[in-house]
Amino acid sequence: SAAVAVFTRDLRVHDNPMLAAAARAGKVVPLFVVDEKISVPDGRARFLAESLADLDRSLRERGGALVVRSGDPVDQIRRVAEEVGAERVHIAADVSGYAQARESALRSALGRAVLHSHDDVHTIVPPGFLAPQGKDHFSVFTPYYRRWREVPWRRSLAPPEAIRLPAIDAGDLPQASGGGFPGGETAGRRRLGDWVAGPVRDYARRHDLLAEEGTSRLSAYLHFGCVSALEAARRAGDEAFVRQLAWRDFHHQVLAARPDAAYRDYRGRGDRWRDDEEALDAWRAGRTGIPIVDAGMRQLLAEGWMHNRARMITASFLTKTLYLDWRTGARHFLDHLLDADIANNNLNWQWVAGTGTDTRPNRVLNPLRQAERFDPDGDYVRRYVPELAGLAAPGIHRPWRSRTPGYPAPIVDLEEARRRFLTARR
Ligand code: FAD
């Protein structure tokens, strides 16, 4: 018998329930379809290409290979299944509206092959597994997390020993080059190994400090599935770190139940956001005149990654201080983040904007107080805003009190902006 193992963003051989199930068939086609409808920014295209090349190497070591097609995924998967006479097609269930529609289109397009959708590939606890009485998902994190902690984790799975490929043309791996985090399972596992060997033990103390390497930087590997979230949680053990992975599960279960929450206000608040192209451009470029905001925005452009605390500060600044629509900010992040993820990005944006699941939707983060607390020595600002490199803390966070040629004056008065927001929300 033959099966098709469709890889999407689960680009790994370790702890991959989708691949493990497919490999039980006599022969299996590990397949990746380059979806021509999805346009991927350069950094992510490079990370993806490296991840696919690494997956291909791992499959070849086991006697198989990655088969690559491009075009419409439903059409290509159906064709491959027919070509090898597959009885089963395996795929990881995913939470975005696009992925959910793709899965149902695939289910009806397949002729004699049966589709197996695996809901335990991307998250630790499958979306929909936990729900409050009478509802289909949790909308508040704390009660979700209380129940989440009681769920026993499944076992972590070893890679299949052998992959037996039927006769089929493998096609060409996509090519792309560039710098940044190296993509792929091998690089991701190395990072996970280094992380659990030591730094994770300081996570609770250091994860909010902007200038430190206090977080795992595993997000892109988790997004593309080069590293399994379940395996990361099992190996790390640390409670504060595992709790962040529970946040990831939380946002995934919200999106699975409410796919439109990627683009529509979760709470249906109907904010009348301002229109201000100039302010939006200044925010995007990291030239708002508020150093901590600018440092975060410039880190994003330089590295394709931003510290979580900076994501909160910059998102709060856009939505609550400038009072601009969270969707424009979410889109900019999606265009530049290597770890861009509809569930984690768009639902965190809603959380910060107070349109989503935050239980204190009208709280406004004061960027100056945030800066003094989480960048007390000014090292983070100094790293990304070289115009201010000559200033010491705490003055570096309020440069309008010094002479700083080349650095803009603040584009907004923070106190006035706070009142504007609170009045608008009333
Ligand atoms: P660590 O602190 O080491 O955490 C480990 C893992 O836990 C992360 O890799 C991530 O998978 C998960 N995690 C941590 N914090 C969160 C969180 N608040 N919500 C969901 N999962 C979390 N994360 C993304 O993966 N992709 C995004 O597109 C994304 N956009 C964001 C946008 C905004 C406005 C905000 C406030 C947060 C966003 N996050 C996003 C969550 C978080 O900022 C990143 O996951 C984290 O900074 C990645 O760095 P790390 O791997 O070193 O995290």
Residues 297-340: tens digit of each pLDDT: 999 999 999 999 999 999 999 999 999 999 999 999 999 999 99
Segment 114-139 shows an average pLDDT of 97
Domain assignment present for 165: no
pLDDT at 39: 87
According to the model, what pLDDT value does residue 178 have? Answer: 87
The answer on 128 and 118 residing in a single domain is no
Task: Please indicate, yes or no, whether residues 284 and 190 belong to a single structural domain of this protein.
Answer: no
Instruction: Tell which of 101, 122, 143 closes a domain.
Output: 122
> Domain check: are 297 and 398 in the same one?
yes
What single DSSP character describes residue 354? T
Q: What pLDDT does 198 receive?
A: 95
Q: Tell which atom from ligand 1 comes closest to the C-alpha of 341.
A: 28
Q: Is residue 265 part of a domain?
A: no
Give pTM, 2 decimals: 0.98
Same domain, 361 and 396: yes
Range of weakest confidence among 20-29, 33-42, 122-131: 33-42
| Nearest Cα to Cα of residue 43 among 224, 212, 167 | 224
Does residue 373 lie within any of the structural domains? yes
Note whether residue 331 is domain-resident.
yes
Q: Facing residues of 118 across strands?
A: 92
What is the residue type of 78?
R
Task: Tell me, yes or no, whether 244 and 359 share the same domain.
Answer: no
**Pocket perturbation via mutation, ligand 1, pick of 248, 252, 338 by most ligand atoms within 8 A of CB:** 248
ipTM exceeds 0.85: yes
DSSP 92: E
pLDDT of residue 388: 97
Provide the percentage of residues in the chain whose pLDDT is more than 90: 95
Residue nearest to atom 31 of ligand 1 (CA): 345
Asked if the structure places residue 32 within a domain, the reply is yes
Residue closest by Cα to atom 4 of ligand 1: 244
95: which DSSP letter?
Answer: -
> Which of these, 304, 330, 306, lies nearest to 318 by C-alpha position?
330
Q: 342 lies in a domain? A: yes
Residue 166 lies in a domain: no
Dist. CA 245 → ligand 1 center (Å): 9
Please write the tens of the pLDDT for every residue from 80-92: 999 999 999 999 9
Task: State both tokens at 284.
Answer: 């995007």
| Mean pLDDT in residue range 198-209 | 97
CATH number of domain containing 365: 1.10.579.10
Q: 426 pLDDT exceeds 90? A: no
Do 297 and 365 sit in the same domain of this protein? Answer: yes
The helix or strand, by DSSP H or E, that contains position 331, with its residue range, turns out to be helix 326-336
> Residue 415: is its pLDDT beyond 90?
yes
Interval between CA 183 and ligand 1 midpoint (Å): 17
CATH of the domain at 145: 1.25.40.80
Residue linked to tokens 């920014």: 41
The conformation of residue 130, written as its DSSP 8-state character, comes to -
The count of domains in the chain is: 3
179 lies in some domain: no
- Domain identity same for 105 and 138: no
Whether residue 196 is predicted with pLDDT greater than 90 in this model: the reply is yes
Q: What is the mean pLDDT of residues 217-239?
A: 98
- Specify whether 291 is located in the same domain as 323: yes
Structure tokens at 195: 């992380």
Distances in whole angstroms, Cα of residue 78 to Cα of each of 71, 96, 304, 394: 12, 21, 35, 61
User: Do 243 and 298 sit in the same domain of this protein?
Assistant: no
- For residues 7 and 62, membership in a common domain is answered with yes
295, amino acid identity:
A
- How remote is the CA of residue 179 from the centroid of ligand 1, in Å? 21
282 and 420 co-located in one domain:
yes
How does residue 294 score in pLDDT terms, banded at 50, 70 and 90? very high
CA-based nearest residue to 283, from 240, 332, 232, 245: 332
> Which atom number of ligand 1 is nearest to the Cα of residue 223?
25
| pLDDT over 90 at 362, yes or no | yes
Rounded to the nearest angstrom, the distance between the alpha carbon of 344 and the centre of ligand 1 is 7
Percentage of the chain exceeding pLDDT 70: 100
The pair phi, psi for residue 88, each rounded to 5°, is -135, 145
Q: Above 90 in pLDDT, residue 180?
A: no
Containing domain of residue 134, as a range?
Answer: 123-152+186-257
- Identify the residues whose C-beta falls under 6 Å from ligand 1: 207, 215-219, 222-223, 244-245, 247-248, 251, 308, 311-312, 315, 333, 337, 339-341, 344-345, 348-349, 352
pLDDT at 105 over 90: yes
CATH number at residue 102: 3.40.50.620
pLDDT, tens digit (0-9, with 9 covering 90-100), for 144-154: 999 999 999 99
Which residue puts its alpha carbon closest to atom 27 of ligand 1? 345
Amino acid letter, 234: R
Final residue of a structural domain among 70, 101, 122: 122
Q: What is the pLDDT of residue 270?
A: 87
- 187 CA distance to ligand 1 middle (Å): 19
Ligand 1 centroid distance, CA of 121 (Å): 18
Give the chain's mean pLDDT. Answer: 97
Q: Say yes or no: 99 and 226 in one domain.
A: no
> What is the spatial distance between Cα 36 and Cα 72, in angstroms, rounded to a whole number?
7
* Confidence (pLDDT) at 161: 96
Q: Ligand 1 atom 37: the closest Cα is on which residue? A: 348
111 pLDDT band (50/70/90 cuts)? confident
Residue from 306, 256, 31 nearest 122 by CA? 256
- What is the chain's length? 426
- 344-373: average pLDDT: 96
Of the candidate ranges 177-181, 243-247, 282-286, 312-316, the one whose mean pLDDT is the lowest: 177-181
Asked if pLDDT for residue 179 goes beyond 90, the answer is: no
Q: Whose CA is nearest to atom 18 of ligand 1?
A: 247
Mean pLDDT of 10-31: 97
Residue 300 Cα to ligand 1 middle (Å): 13
Over residues 231-278, the pLDDT tens digits come to: 999 999 999 999 999 999 999 999 999 999 999 999 988 899 999 999
